[in-house]
């Protein structure tokens, strides 16, 4: 028997269907010589300090640093996890071979290997490595299974990352909490979290220290074009008025007129960070929510694997492009021009040297149905339009520069005209909205002749200097990607990714952690450091803990472990040395206690009587994990430990709104009576009995 282990029940079902393992069992599916089981994401975690020594449960400076001789793993304490692990452990002992079908990335490799290690697996092991969950992709993956040894370095890098985060997080958090927490505040320190906070704090200090000043500029209007004086800003109104009088005494003269034709390169395909940046800028979505929506689209087979950090495609994907474009039903008007001739194999899109484990995020040949929620539709639209845009011609533009002079004062005016929109056609609607927003800044530049002159209308513009801009999630993600350096050029940014802080898949969680710790808060779209966050960074004197550049160097070493160019043990030893030195330095040093600055509590609101149904769910065991209760949310009934368990029943399923009684029957009895009115079932079923499968997934039969 061959055992396949996927990372989620839904993925396991997709794989089982392809393999012909159609018989449902308790915690797995079976058939055709295969057993297909699953984890719920992380089933195992690194042991905690008290697992090595019960006395380490208590935080004390005298016990630091905590350096286990050998790091161990343990099951996450959860009844559902323990039950599923028992199933996996039994199947591992009975099987002849294991196929690791975890998510094809560093975290997925660690999740599966820890579980197999805990289960005592010594069976031959292979690796399924796919970039989408379509049936064709799964079949192709099983036809090209890889030896598990090929991914050992990937595991070693992921394991080193986890060990490094444990070493620094556990020790530094206890160290600073006991030294500066005053017995009340837990001061959380992390390898990526702390330098990210340091960037926000530094920006906050620059903003707080900024003194706004007035300034004056000379402008003039000639032939309906506004020209700006090419001189330094004036720091007094008197100087500005004196300049205005001077301008009134002289005519305006054209001294240079130049038009240069150029091209605007196509945008690059999305990696995860670029997608999160775009979704935040356009829709205000948090990085965490964008990741959730694109992951959902991946599991629904509409896009390829999303946790990637490249904007290129493998060269062997080139023949598949036409097939994907032909299936993009909602974008036929945009796709039609591309299908009239072969897709060019441009190095800006297809480059094997820029692709490692995965390629950029693109649509699959399975178009979405109308059952997507609005957020998923918007995220899919971003991916789809970017995919189409990279195959369009470049945008041709003309840049106009006009230089003039009034007496001895030089003036300039710039203008840009789109000659052939090219890829901008894909974003025609967005461009129209953008033009409406910026119409005051745009002006049409007519043709001028060098030497012409005439009357003009000089004026004074008064302005104020502005402080640096607050980070938004979009700009913070970019700063994390480039270790704090401001980089606009896409090619240069691509080169710097190896030294960014954090991984694309973890940056969203880092930002959310800073919110949970109350180190930062959001004001509109701006990220603002709280007083607690600022005090914490001020207390940390060691640059190793808060420097984005140095943290980027650690990240670079982790990537070298992944490629086999660096030893995982050496990385661990370097961190141990750093933790020892940091501990001694902080214990001997001085500093003031940091207080947690809580928000003022809101006035007590009158208690609203609760419905019996809301109380019912709090008394009901989750049918999936069996160890937690249920809770009623705005759109669904779900497990209180949804992050690990994943169980929920939406109020609307396959386009039909369910009554309270129908949801109760489904959860408490495992199925409903026969229902009608389903509108969005993938197989166009309009009636049937809703039931919970073995993995507690909804089925309509």
CB of 44 closer than 8 Å to CB of 113: no
* Residue 234, beta-bridge partner list: 216
Q: What is the mean pLDDT of residues 421-440?
A: 66
Q: Which helix (H) or strand (E) holds 401?
A: strand 395-406
d(CA 689, CA 487): 55
Query: Do the domain assignments include residue 280?
Result: yes
Is 435 a residue whose pLDDT tops 60?
A: no
Q: What is the mean pLDDT of residues 597-605?
A: 40
325-334: which pairs have CB atoms within 8 A and are 24 or more residues apart? Answer: 325/388, 325/391, 327/365, 327/366, 327/367, 328/363, 328/367, 328/384, 328/388, 329/367, 330/367, 330/384, 331/384, 331/385, 331/388, 334/385, 334/388, 334/425, 334/426
Q: For Cα atoms 220, 225, 226, give the angle at the middle one, nearest 5 degrees.
A: 40
Q: Considering only CA atoms, which of 564, 557, 599, 604 is closest in space to residue 578?
A: 557
Same domain, 125 and 239: no
Residue range 500-528, pLDDT digits in tens:
888 888 899 999 999 999 999 999 899 99
Query: Do the domain assignments include residue 164?
Result: no
Is 604 a residue whose pLDDT tops 70?
A: no
**Torsion angle of the four alpha carbons 357, 359, 362, 366, in this order, in degrees rounded to the nearest 10:** -50
The owner of tokens 């990085």 is 287
Q: Burial of 396 by CB count in 10 Å (0-12 exposed, 13-18 middle, 19+ buried)?
A: middle
Q: Report residue 400's pLDDT band, with 50, 70 and 90 as the boundaries.
A: very high
Is 681 a residue whose pLDDT tops 90?
A: no
**Would you state the pLDDT for residue 482?**
83
Q: Considering only CA atoms, which of 485, 482, 473 is closest in space to residue 527?
A: 473
**Would you state the pLDDT for residue 612?**
44
Is 580 a residue whose pLDDT tops 90?
A: yes
Mean pLDDT, rounded, of the chain: 88
Same domain, 122 and 11: yes
Q: What is the mean pLDDT of residues 383-395?
A: 97
**Would you state the pLDDT for residue 665?**
84
The owner of tokens 């709090």 is 618
Same domain, 30 and 145: yes
Same domain, 332 and 428: no
CATH number, position 251: 2.70.20.10
Residue range 294-311, pLDDT digits in tens:
999 999 999 999 999 899
Query: Do the domain assignments include residue 545?
Result: no
Q: How many domains does the chain have?
A: 4
Final residue before a domain boundary, out of 129, 159, 189: 159
The DSSP letter of residue 575 is: H
Name the least confident of 146-160, 244-258, 471-485. Answer: 471-485
Name the least confident of 80-94, 198-212, 544-558. Answer: 544-558
d(CA 179, CA 615): 44
Phi, psi for 575 (deg, rounded to 5)? -70, -40
- Using alpha carbons, list the distances in angstroms from residue 81 to 38, 625, 641: 11, 7, 12
Q: What is the DSSP string of 427-470?
A: GHHHHHHHHHHTTTT--------TT-EE--EEEEEEEE--PPPP
Same domain, 303 and 381: yes
Query: Do the domain assignments include residue 584?
Result: no
**Would you state the pLDDT for residue 653?**
83
Same domain, 382 and 406: no
Query: Do the domain assignments include residue 408?
Result: yes
Q: State the residue range of the domain holding 324.
A: 272-389
Q: Report residue 645's pLDDT band, with 50, 70 and 90 as the boundaries.
A: confident
Same domain, 10 and 153: yes
d(CA 465, CA 261): 34
pTM equals 0.78
Is 438 a residue whose pLDDT tops 50?
A: no
Query: Do the domain assignments include residue 550?
Result: no
Same domain, 367 and 435: no
Q: Report residue 632's pLDDT band, with 50, 70 and 90 as the boundaries.
A: confident
**Torsion angle of the four alpha carbons 293, 296, 300, 303, in this order, in degrees rounded to the nearest 10:** 60
Q: Burial of 318 by CB count in 10 Å (0-12 exposed, 13-18 middle, 19+ buried)?
A: middle
Same domain, 154 and 109: yes
Same domain, 342 and 245: no
Q: Report residue 597's pLDDT band, with 50, 70 and 90 as the boundaries.
A: low
Final residue before a domain boundary, out of 131, 159, 187: 159
Query: Do the domain assignments include residue 384?
Result: yes
43-47, 616-620, 694-698: range with highest mean pLDDT: 43-47
Task: Give the residue numbers annotated as catalytic, written as ranges.
Answer: 305
The two structure tokens encoding residue 579: 């933790």
Same domain, 401 and 363: no
Peptide bond into 65 cis (omega under 30): yes
Is 491 a residue whose pLDDT tops 80?
A: no
CATH number, position 6: 3.40.50.140
**Would you state the pLDDT for residue 603?**
34
Query: Do the domain assignments include residue 188?
Result: no
Is 600 a residue whose pLDDT tops 50?
A: no
| Cβ-based neighbours of 553, under 8 Å, separated by 6 or more | 499
Burial 521-546 (b: 16+ CB within 10 A, else e): eeeeeebbbbebbbbbbebbebebbb
CATH number, position 313: 1.10.290.10
Same domain, 276 and 133: no
Q: Considering only CA atoms, which of 612, 613, 608 is closest in space to residue 658?
A: 613
Q: Report residue 618's pLDDT band, with 50, 70 and 90 as the boundaries.
A: low
The owner of tokens 């033009």 is 435
Q: What is the mean pLDDT of residues 338-345?
A: 92
Q: Burial of 623 by CB count in 10 Å (0-12 exposed, 13-18 middle, 19+ buried)?
A: middle
Final residue before a domain boundary, out of 354, 370, 389: 389
Pairing between β-strand 44-46 and β-strand 636-639 as defined by DSSP bridges: unpaired
| Cβ-based neighbours of 554, under 8 Å, separated by 6 or more | 164, 191, 571
């Amino acid at each position: 028997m061959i055992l396949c282990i996927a990372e989620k029940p839904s993925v396991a079902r997709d794989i089982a269907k392809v393999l012909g393992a159609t018989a449902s069992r308790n915690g797995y599916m079976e058939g055709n010589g295969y057993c297909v089981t699953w984890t719920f994401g992380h089933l195992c975690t690194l042991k905690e300090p008290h697992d090595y020594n019960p006395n380490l449960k208590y935080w004390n400076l005298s016990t630091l640093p905590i350096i286990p001789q050998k790091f161990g793993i343990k099951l996450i304490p959860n009844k559902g996890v323990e039950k599923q692990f028992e199933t996996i452990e039994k199947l591992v002992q009975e099987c002849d071979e294991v196929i690791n079908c975890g998510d094809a990335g560093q975290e997925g490799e660690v999740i599966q290997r820890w579980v197999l290690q805990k289960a005592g697996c010594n069976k031959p092991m292979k690796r399924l490595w796919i970039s989408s969950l379509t049936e064709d992709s799964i079949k192709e993956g099983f036809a090209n299974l890889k030896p598990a040894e090929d991914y050992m370095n990937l595991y070693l890098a992921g394991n080193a990352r986890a060990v490094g985060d444990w070493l620094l997080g556990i020790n530094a958090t206890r160290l600073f909490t006991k030294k500066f927490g005053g017995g009340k505040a837990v001061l959380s320190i992390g390898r990526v979290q702390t330098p990210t906070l340091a960037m926000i704090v530094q920006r906050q200090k620059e903003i707080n220290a900024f003194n706004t000043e007035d300034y004056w500029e000379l402008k003039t209007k000639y032939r309906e074009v506004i020209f700006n004086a090419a001189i330094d800003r004036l720091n007094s109104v008197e100087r500005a008025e004196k300049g205005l009088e001077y301008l009134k005494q002289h005519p305006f003269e054209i001294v240079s007129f130049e038009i240069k034709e150029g091209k605007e390169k196509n945008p690059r395909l999305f990696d995860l960070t670029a997608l999160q940046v775009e979704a935040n800028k356009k829709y205000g979505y948090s990085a965490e929510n964008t990741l959730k929506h694109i992951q959902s689209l991946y599991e629904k087979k509409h896009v390829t694997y999303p946790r990637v950090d490249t904007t290129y495609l493998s060269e062997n994907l080139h023949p598949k492009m036409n097939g994907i474009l032909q299936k993009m039903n909602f974008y036929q008007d945009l796709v039609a021009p591309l299908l009239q001739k072969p897709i060019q194999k441009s190095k800006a899109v297809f480059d094997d040297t820029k692709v490692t484990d995965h390629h950029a995020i693109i649509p699959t040949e399975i178009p979405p149905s109308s059952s997507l929620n609005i957020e998923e539709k918007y995220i899919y639209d971003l991916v789809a339009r970017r995919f189409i845009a990279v195959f369009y011609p470049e945008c041709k533009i003309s840049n106009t520069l006009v230089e003039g002079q009034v007496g001895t004062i030089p003036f300039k005016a710039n203008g840009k005209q789109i000659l052939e929109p090219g890829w901008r056609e894909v974003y025609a609607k967005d461009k129209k909205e953008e033009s409406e927003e910026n119409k005051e800044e745009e002006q049409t530049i007519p043709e001028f002749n060098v030497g012409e002159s005439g009357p003009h209308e000089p004026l004074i513009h008064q302005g104020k200097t502005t402080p640096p801009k607050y980070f938004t999630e979009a700009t913070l993600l970019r700063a994390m990607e480039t270790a704090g350096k401001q980089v606009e050029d896409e090619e240069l940014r691509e080169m710097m990714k190896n030294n960014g802080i954090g991984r694309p898949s973890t940056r969203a969680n880092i930002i959310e952690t800073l919110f949970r710790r109350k180190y930062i808060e959001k004001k509109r779209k701006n990220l603002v450091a709280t007083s607690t966050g600022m005090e914490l960074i001020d207390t940390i004197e060691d640059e190793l803990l808060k420097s984005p550049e140095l943290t980027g160097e650690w990240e670079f070493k982790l990537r070298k472990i992944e490629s086999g160019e660096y030893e995982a043990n050496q990385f661990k030893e370097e961190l141990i040395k750093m933790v020892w030195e940091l501990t001694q330095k902080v214990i001997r040093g001085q500093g003031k206690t940091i207080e947690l600055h809580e928000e003022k509590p809101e006035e007590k609101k009158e208690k609203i009587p609760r419905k019996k149904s809301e109380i019912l769910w709090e008394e009901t065991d989750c049918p999936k994990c069996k160890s937690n209760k249920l809770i009623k949310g705005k759109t669904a009934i779900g497990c209180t430990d949804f992050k690990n368990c994943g169980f929920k029943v939406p109020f609307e399923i396959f386009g039909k709104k369910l009554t309270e009684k129908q949801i109760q029957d489904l959860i408490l009895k495992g199925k409903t009576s026969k229902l009608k009115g389903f509108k969005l079932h993938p197989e166009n079923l309009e009636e049937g009995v809703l039931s919970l499968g073995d993995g507690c997934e909804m089925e309509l039969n």
